[in-house]
A and B are shown apart, each in its own frame.
Chain A
Amino acid sequence: MAESYSEGRTGDGEYQEQFLNDKTLRRLGAAIAGLFTLGVGGFIAAIIFTQVDFELLVEIIHPQFVNAFLRVLGIVLVGSLFSVTAGVFVGLGRVSNTRFTNTVATAYVEFFRGTPLLFQLLVIYVGIPAFWPPGQFPISNWAIPTAIIGLTLNHAAYVGEAVRGGIDAVPEGQMEAARSLGMSYVQGMREVVLPQAWRNALAAIGNDQVILVKDTSLLTVIAIPELISAFRNVNSTTFDPWTPILLVAIAYLMITIPLGKIVSYLEARSDWGGDRR
């Protein structure tokens, strides 16, 4: 085995030209990236110039796609706010020393992370109204509350795990220092541990919130006129696939890309003197 370390080396200690040296690797990488860009760029250009019907595009963009976009955006904003807030509490439950709290938080995470969101949506959408006699369920548009509740419950589990990881990554000495100054557990958590845990968990939370945006596509099955249903609507009446596909792609990216920027901004803001980790 020892010879393998000296491969590509002559007896004099000079290096032979290797098949894949650093420079070649760099060029190869750039070449692949270039080809990829060219391919994808060409494909998109081909779609836009040969497949997209701009008259149809203008016709469907408003009000159908704009409405679907705004509806998704609204659900995302509320769902994000709720799921992140609830997730912090799930995370706190997961690190609790009280066995009961800890067990409940763990069971919560296991259930909501362990079953599909689609299933959870159906449970809420179909299951809950079944407690009332047929036709007696008091909420007329149950789909939107279902969406908010489902996304919140589901993503609070993921955010909770991110928060738990963030808290675990804060050294124990931080809470000890806070307690030794006379702060209570709650004060120590709020003032010392959570701000650091939040910073640690930001990337994972951001990741989950991007998934939440895309999970709104499942809402099509509970008859919320979101982006996928807008696509199906247009597609089934015009048989044009690419015009609505283009709009769907743009609409999702208009939410997910700024979301990523917000996370980067929040990360940069909690830099605390730079050079951290």
Chain B
Amino acid sequence: MSLLEFDEVDKYFGETHVLKDVDLDVEEGEVCVVIGPSGSGKSTLLRCANRLEEIQGGEIRLEGQSISAEDADINRLRQRIGMVFQSFNLFPHKTARENVTLAPTKVKGLKEGDATRRADELLDRVGLGAQSDSYPNQLSGGQQQRVAIARALAMDPHVMLFDEVTSALDPELVGEVLDVMHDLADEGMTMLVVTHEMGFAREVGDRIVLMADGRVVEDSPPEVFFENPKTDRGKQFLSKLL
């Protein structure tokens, strides 16, 4: 049993068929990087993984439990799935520390003191120990995104989903976010990462999944994908990168 399993997943937006029969298993401790042209369904795949989008066919399972079933206890399942968004989505009315403590106290019932201690620990880990009392609009994009990562980690997720988390950042701020993700991967976090950062994909990814037109068209280790892709779509995609 894999940690996160997509089993013949079909997803429609109205008439548009955005995910076509997608099969994908993410193993524990694996960093699975999803790449592909825009509109290929990468982000949708990620959003289906914690049911921000409903699927119309197939099944998605986390540690054997269905996420997509009608009667799934989604609030409980989501606690095990951390998500980081392209647009950060920090809570602007809360300080960095409060952003991190909110869900642990409200959802897990953690005591304020324990949650705060844990939040400070996590903010330290992402290099923002000194900014814990700042509000999101007092932080740079890179700092906000690192707070968002700390916020997701505070729920002790079993898998982390990263949805183009550096796409909204100024180029000079991308590195600090990727560094945090790199550290997380080194610590053995299971990660499903949608990104356009090929350097990161190559260096940190255990697997490269190429999507096109709502299908997984190639699934290879990075050294294979970037040196000698197995499929024509893979070759085509790489040729457009340079």
Contact = CB atoms under 8 A, between A and B. Distances in A.
Contacts, number: 75
Interface in A167-214: 171, 173-174, 176-184, 187, 191-192, 195-196, 199
A238 B122 CA distance: 76
A183 B76 CA distance: 9
B192 to A, nearest CB: 13
A49 interface: no
A180 B81 contact: yes
B50 interface: yes
A79 to B, nearest CB: 28
Contact of B137 (A183, A191, A272): A272
A192 B151 contact: no
A173 B87 contact: yes
A236 B148 CA distance: 69
Contacts of B93: 195-196, 199, 270, 272
Contacts of A270: 93
Instruction: Identify the interface centre among B50, B75, B92, B152: most chain A CB within 10 Å of its CB.
Output: B92
Contact of A273 (B50, B78, B83, B135): B135
Nearest to A199: B93
A275 B81 contact: no
B91 A192 contact: yes
A173 B78 CA distance: 16
A273 B106 contact: no
Contacts of A192: 91, 102
Given A184-B75, A187-B107, A273 B134 contact: yes
B75 to A, nearest CB: 5
B126 interface: no
Interface in A149-178: 171, 173-174, 176-178
Interface in A223-265: none
Contact of A179 (B78, B137, B138): B78
Contacts of A171: 87, 89
A183 B106 contact: yes
Given A176-B52, A180-B50, A182-B75, A273 B137 contact: yes
B184 interface: no
Interface string B149-162: 00110010000000
B141 interface: no
A276 interface: yes
A274 B137 contact: yes
A195 B87 CA distance: 20
Nearest to B154: A181
A176 B85 contact: yes
A275 B137 contact: yes
Contact of A177 (B81, B91, B135, B155): B91
A150 B155 CA distance: 47
A181 B107 contact: yes
Nearest to A190: B106
A16 to B, nearest CB: 45
Interface string B113-154: 000000000000000000000111110000000001001100
B166 interface: no
Contacts of B76: 182
A173 B91 CA distance: 10
Contacts of B79: 181-182
Nearest to B139: A273
Given A181-B152, A272-B92, 5 more contacts: A171-B87, A174-B91, A182-B108, A191-B106, A196-B92
24 contacts: A171-B87, A171-B89, A174-B89, A174-B91, A177-B148, A180-B52, A180-B78, A180-B81, A181-B79, A182-B78, A183-B75, A183-B103, A184-B75, A187-B106, A191-B106, A192-B91, A196-B92, A199-B93, A272-B92, A272-B93, A272-B135, A273-B134, A273-B136, A273-B137
Interchain residue pairs A-B with the least CB separation, the first 10? A273-B135, A181-B103, A177-B89, A182-B79, A173-B89, A180-B83, A182-B78, A182-B107, A273-B138, A272-B135
